[in-house]
C-alpha cells in the first residue's frame, strides 16, 4: 500500500519503507551473482558488507497516483460517505439533509495542507460531522462515553477455535467494574499489537462496525464503489478493504484474524550514474521475454532477492518474559509488583474487602471485543470483557 500512498498529493506518512543494498551490489549484478537487498540498514550481507546503500525508485516506475481514477469525481457527505458525483446521489443527499431550496446552499472553496489532513483525520475519529467541524470550525466533537450503552456489540464473529490466553482479572465485587488484569507477556504482546494494525485492517476484522461512525461510513462506501468505474483496479480495492500488518510487525501467535503483507520475491534493479533504481515486478512481468515498459527505460535490469526478514521462530514480540504485567482498564501496561498494585488501588479508592479475582481466557471473540472498546472508550477492558465476565459468573 505504501507505493500507492507515496504518490498522493498530500501524503502524511513521512516514514516510508526503505530498501538497502550492500556496498558490492553493483559488482555482483555485473557478475550475475546472487544479489540481495534488505529493509534493515547496516544489516550484514552474506558477503559481510553492510546494507548501507539506499535504493531509489524513479517516479516513472511508481504505481498509480493514489487509488481512484483521475477522471472520476465524487461527493463526500459530512459523515464521510463517498458517492459517485451523479445527480441521483446529490438529490438523495439533499433530501436526507432536508434541503428544500437550492438558495440555502452556499459554495466554499477550501485549501488543505498536510497539517489540515491530520486535523481532518483526528476529527473523523471523534466527530459525527468532521467536514463541518473542519471547514466551519464548529467543534461539535462527540464525547465517546459509552457507559450508557448497554448493547456493546461486535457483530458476527468467526469461530473462536484456536489459542487462548489466560489472564487474572481483578474487579470490584460490588459493581463488577474491572480494575486491571494480571497477565504474562503474551497478553501484553497482544495489546501492543494494536499499535501495528492499519485502520482498514481493524475495520475488516470488525466487519465494518467499529462504532466510529464516520470511519465506518468511509469503509462501507469504499467497498460499494465499482472498481471498474471508479478505482484503478480490483487489486487496489482488496488492499484498501483488507490491509495487513507489515511483515516486520507480524506477532508471534496472533489470535486476531489479521495477516501480514508479503514483500515481493524480487526487485529489479539497475544503475544510472552510479545510483541504484528499482521497481518490483509481478511474476507475469518476470516471465515475459519482452517488457516494453522496462525495455524502454532500463535495458539492463537485474533481479535482487530480499534477505529473509526473520525465520518462523523470530516473529515479533514486544514484551520481555517471563514477567507478570499489570494492564489497567485504560490499557496502561506496567510490570506487576505489590507496591505498584497497592498504589493503584489507593488512587482508585477501592477497599480491599471489595476486591475479587477471576480467571478468564482471551480468544478471538474477547480479543476483538477489547480492540473495539479501545477505539471508543477509555475503559477498554471493562467494555471489552464485561459480557464475558458475566458469563463466567453465571456458569459458577
- What's the pLDDT score for residue 18? 73
Does the residue 74 lie in any domain? no
Please tell me whether residues 26 and 172 are part of one structural domain: no
* Sequential DSSP letters for 355-389: EEEEEEEE-HHHHHHHHHHHHH-S-HHHHHHHHHH
In this structure, are 191 and 332 located in the same domain? yes
Identify whether residues 326 and 388 lie together within a single domain. Answer: yes
Task: Look at residues 306, 336, 368 and tell me which one is the last residue of a structural domain.
Answer: 306
Q: What pLDDT score does 374 carry?
A: 93
Residue 17 included in any domain:
yes
How many domains does the structure of the chain reveal? 2
Instruction: For residue 36, tell me if it sits in a domain.
Output: yes
Question: 267: Cβ–Cβ under 8 A, 6 or more apart, which residues?
Answer: 19, 37, 55, 278, 279, 280, 303, 304, 306
107: phi then psi, degrees, rounded to nearest 5: -95, 145
Q: What pLDDT does residue 235 have?
A: 83
180 plus 49 within the same structural domain: no
pLDDT, tens digit, 9 for 90 and up, residues 182-199? 999 999 999 999 999 999
- 3-class SS of residue 70: coil
287 with 347, same domain? no
How far, in Å, CA of 214 to CA of 129, rounded?
Answer: 8
Distance CA 11, CA 9 (A): 6
126 lies in a domain? no
Residues 298 and 362 in one domain: no
* Positions in the chain short of pLDDT 70: 1-4, 6-7, 14-17, 23-35, 55-65, 139-162, 262-316, 390-396
Among 256, 277, 306, identify where a domain stops. 306
- Domain annotation covers residue 302: yes
Let me know whether 282 and 334 are in one domain: no
Is residue 322 reached through a cis peptide bond, with omega within 30 degrees of 0 on the bond before it?
A: yes
Q: Does residue 301 share a domain with residue 341?
A: no
142 falls within a domain: no
Residue 224 falls inside a structural domain: no
In whole angstroms, what is the distance from residue 261 CA to residue 309 CA? Answer: 12
Tell me how far the alpha carbon of residue 67 is from its chain's centroid: 17
Q: How are strands ordered across the β-sheet holding 355-362? A: 333-335, 325-328, 178-183, 165-172, 355-362
Whether residues 56 and 191 share a domain: the answer is: no
Question: Which of 249, 279, 306 marks a domain boundary?
Answer: 306
**Do both 327 and 293 map to the same domain?**
no
Asked if 389 and 322 sit in the same domain, the reply is: yes
Tell me which residue range forms the domain holding 185: 165-196+317-395
CA distance 219 to 253: 28
Kindly report the number of other CB atoms within 10 A of residue 323's CB atom.
Answer: 12
Residues 301 and 321 in one domain: no
Residue 19 belongs to what H/E stretch?
A: strand 19-22
Q: Are 243 and 222 in contact (CB under 8 A)?
A: no
Residue 34 lies in a domain: yes
Q: Are strands 74-76 and 82-84 parallel, antiparallel or unpaired?
A: antiparallel
Amino acid at each position: 500500500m505504501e507505493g500507492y500512498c507515496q504518490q498522493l498529493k498530500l501524503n502524511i506518512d513521512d516514514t516510508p519503507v526503505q530498501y538497502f543494498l550492500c556496498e558490492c551490489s553493483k559488482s555482483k549484478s555485473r557478475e550475475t551473482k546472487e544479489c540481495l537487498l534488505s529493509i534493515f540498514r547496516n544489516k550484514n550481507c552474506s558477503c559481510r558488507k553492510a546494507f548501507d546503500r539506499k535504493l531509489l525508485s524513479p517516479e516513472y516506475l511508481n504505481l498509480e497516483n493514489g487509488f481512484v481514477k483521475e477522471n472520476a469525481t465524487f461527493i463526500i457527505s459530512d459523515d464521510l460517505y463517498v458517492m459517485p458525483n451523479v445527480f441521483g446521489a446529490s438529490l438523495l443527499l439533499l433530501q436526507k439533509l432536508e434541503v428544500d431550496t437550492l438558495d440555502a446552499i452556499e459554495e466554499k472553496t477550501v485549501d488543505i495542507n498536510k497539517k489540515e489532513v491530520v486535523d481532518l483525520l483526528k476529527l473523523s475519529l471523534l466527530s459525527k460531522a468532521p467536514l463541518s467541524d473542519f471547514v466551519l470550525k464548529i467543534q461539535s466533537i462527540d464525547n465517546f462515553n459509552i457507559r450508557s450503552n448497554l448493547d456493546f456489540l461486535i457483530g458476527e464473529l468467526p469461530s473462536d477455535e484456536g489459542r487462548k490466553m489466560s489472564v487474572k482479572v481483578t474487579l470490584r465485587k460490588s459493581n463488577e467494574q474491572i480494575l486491571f488484569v494480571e497477565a504474562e507477556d503474551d497478553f501484553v504482546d497482544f495489546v501492543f499489537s494494536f499499535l501495528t494494525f492499519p485502520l482498514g485492517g481493524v475495520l475488516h476484522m470488525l466487519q465494518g462496525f467499529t462504532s466510529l461512525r464516520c470511519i465506518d461510513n468511509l469503509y462501507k462506501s469504499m467497498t460499494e464503489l465499482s472498481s471498474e468505474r471508479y478505482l484503478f483496479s480490483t487489486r487496489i480495492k482488496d488492499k484498501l478493504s483488507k490491509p495487513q500488518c507489515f511483515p516486520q510487525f507480524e506477532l508471534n501467535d496472533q489470535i486476531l484474524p489479521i495477516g501480514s503483507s508479503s514483500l515481493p520475491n524480487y526487485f529489479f534493479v539497475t544503475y544510472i550514474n552510479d545510483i541504484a533504481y528499482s521497481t518490483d515486478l509481478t511474476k507475469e512481468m518476470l516471465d515475459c521475454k519482452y517488457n516494453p515498459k522496462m525495455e524502454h527505460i532500463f535495458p539492463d535490469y537485474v533481479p535482487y532477492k530480499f534477505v529473509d526478514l526473520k525465520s518462523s521462530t523470530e516473529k515479533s514480540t514486544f514484551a520481555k518474559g517471563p514477567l507478570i504485567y499489570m494492564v489497567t482498564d485504560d490499557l496502561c501496561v506496567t510490570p506487576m509488583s505489590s507496591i505498584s498494585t497497592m498504589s493503584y488501588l489507593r488512587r482508585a479508592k477501592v477497599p480491599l474487602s471489595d476486591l475479587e479475582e477471576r480467571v478468564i481466557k482471551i480468544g478471538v471473540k474477547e480479543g476483538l471485543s477489547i480492540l473495539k472498546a479501545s477505539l471508543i472508550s477509555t475503559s477498554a477492558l471493562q467494555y471489552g470483557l464485561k459480557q464475558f465476565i458475566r458469563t463466567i459468573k453465571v456458569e459458577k
